[in-house]
Amino acid sequence: MSEKNNDNHYLSLKDLISESFLRDLILFTFLFILIISQSWDNIFFLLFPLITFTFSLFFRILSTNKKRTEFEKSYVIYNPFGSEGKNANRLFFSAQFQLILIFWLGAESLYNPHLVDNYYFYFTGILVFLFTFGFFWIFIDLWKYSRFEIITSEIEGKLDSQLSIDSRNIISFLKLKTLKIFSIINFLVLVILNIINLIFLLLLSNNLILGMQVYLPGSQLITISYLLYGILFISPILTIIILILNYRTINNFNKQKLDKLIEPLPRNLQINIIENLKSLNNKIKEQMKIE
């Protein structure tokens, strides 16, 4: 068992800054600075990749925290938010794609302003799709990773052969009914937001509705739909709600089942698992009544 983890289950800010965290931050900042150098007077479009990247950093920090507080010999799998590393990578990819798209729009407005009016419809449609799909993407295989599990396969051979212990023992997981609800809601929001956005773009391009005027680099004026403000918040808020519900689902486990599972194990392994559980979070500690 790691001495550092045994003494302190919480990491300092320095510990949370991993190589992958710095890599993502440096690359995002570089592209962001390139866009700012185009002299954008209105940063509204930049809010889309900024929000996406903020969620990516959140999952990256969670992933780093889990790896660095994990014991050298851990028998606990605890994923209340799914695979944090995959979520971070997917959202980072979405954020980078959005930055490249915005940089392209700024460059065209500076050097080929006559093309902006022709391609603005496609730009907004693709930007909204990338933004909403990024938040939908992280929930595609949420069921595969969201679980609280005690692994005994690595120690099974060391135990008495008369003990009947499953190789993998899931304490709590994302139920099929909950998974279907999450999946349907996410898919409907993705489709509805993108369809409504395209409808509003068509109405806006034909001057059938009012919009907000925004200056691009090169002082070119375009009109954007007010619907974009709603899209900017709907997907992130829905993501937060689903993550909270999923977190509560995984943490709502049967303590008696856990006790029964680890009871046949050798005392040193029981202590190892208990110490692992103590390092997870205060919610687990309260439910197990661990002081």
At residue 164, the pLDDT reads 38
Alpha-carbon torsion, ordered 254, 284, 21, 86, to 10 deg: 10
For residue 86, give both structure tokens.
Answer: 């995959």
pLDDT per position as a tens digit, 209-218: 888 888 889 7
* 137 within a domain of the structure (yes/no): yes
> Above 80 in pLDDT, residue 74?
no
Is the pLDDT at 284 greater than 80? The verdict is: no
User: Quick one: pLDDT at residue 207?
Assistant: 81
Q: Is residue 25 part of a domain?
A: yes
Cβ atoms < 10 Å from Cβ of 166: 11
- pLDDT for residue 13: 58
Structural domain boundaries enclosing 89: 3-7+14-151+167-280
Within a domain: residue 161? no
Residues 6+ apart with CB under 8 A from 102: 35, 45, 46, 48, 49, 127
Q: Which one, of 8, 113, 133, lies nearest residue 68 by Cα? A: 8
Q: Average of pLDDT values for 6-18?
A: 57
Please write the tens of the pLDDT for every residue from 42-53. Answer: 889 999 999 999
- Counting the structural domains of the chain, the total is 1
* C-alpha span between 253 and 255 (Å, rounded): 6
Q: What is the pLDDT of residue 150?
A: 78
**Alpha carbon distance 61, 16 (integer Å):** 6
The separation between the first and the last C-alpha atoms of the chain, rounded to the nearest angstrom, is 19
| Average pLDDT value over all residues in the chain | 81
- 287 occurs within a structural domain: no
- Residue 270's pLDDT is 75
pTM attached to this predicted model: 0.83
Instruction: Retrieve residue 222's tokens.
Output: 């375009």
In a domain, 262, yes or no: yes
Residue 89 vs residues 43, 59, 79, 144, 229: alpha-carbon distances, Å: 24, 9, 16, 17, 25
Q: Are 134 and 94 in contact (CB under 8 A)?
A: yes
CA–CA gap between residue 48 and residue 127 (Å, rounded): 8
Considering the domain boundaries, does residue 159 fall inside one?
no
**How do residues 84-142 score in pLDDT, each as one tens digit?**
999 999 999 999 999 999 999 999 998 888 888 888 889 999 999 999 999 999 998 88
Residue 244 lies in a domain: yes
Residue 100 lies in a domain: yes
Question: What would the pLDDT profile of 247-269 be if each residue is shown by its tens digit?
Answer: 888 887 777 777 777 777 777 77
